[in-house]
Structure 1
């Protein structure tokens, strides 16, 4: 319900309405709106329907889509320079598709960054474990030493891969902001 709360607050502010004004418009009291926006209460289905009709949004959208994110993406689309495209002209369906694509790409990027961070932590854990094991074994055969050297080489390759991964993430972040 956090998404709903944030979306309700966002839509109300976009409409330049106070909680009291919105409540009067849809037949509720200010306390209902405040509770919904704080996520301390969930609206009854009939109140949810009233809110959605008032703002002309789909129930599934107000419950699952992050409108604040969509608004930021719409603003970016409006600032696109260059030849006018159907998206820049505001063609509803194409614009909605582009917004959905941008949101999906942002989520993929966030997942990619999270996975990269997780891989770095895992690699560091392996490195610490390897060092611990090697430091605590006094009698290590030549074969085990060779395997340990190969393991360290493999870890260096993985670190280089992670460094490239981070560079790619930084580059994509810069490209996305330009």
Structure 2
């Protein structure tokens, strides 16, 4: 009984629009293996046939016993592209997630730093306010002392005038 393995492999290589090396690499085979199968010098192992059929979503029976080039079957020839696209999307999603985590960490760090800066500024304002309050109290005390000194000087002057008046009753100041 004739099998169509070589015809179907040749058809799939052409359908995929790739070289025998590229096709073989998809299934862990080299160019020589694929050439031997296409030229009917050897037959692939059942595991290889299963892998190819699984990849293209075709039955093993169809792959071995039917000429796929004559069938109107839709083969999954875009799986490689879909797999690559899926891997790229997965990597991009992971990168996005990593960036989100990094930005969240940066925001938390900046928030913490800003809170620390605000606390330091509040402490400086409190210190400055307390120094202003201390300065105001000090100024009040100085003014009070000056006032007392001025009163003392006034009293002293008045005392001097009174002494002069007592010692010279006829003179008026």
TM-score (norm 1): 0.38
The higher radius of gyration belongs to 2
TM-score, normalised relative to structure 2:
0.39
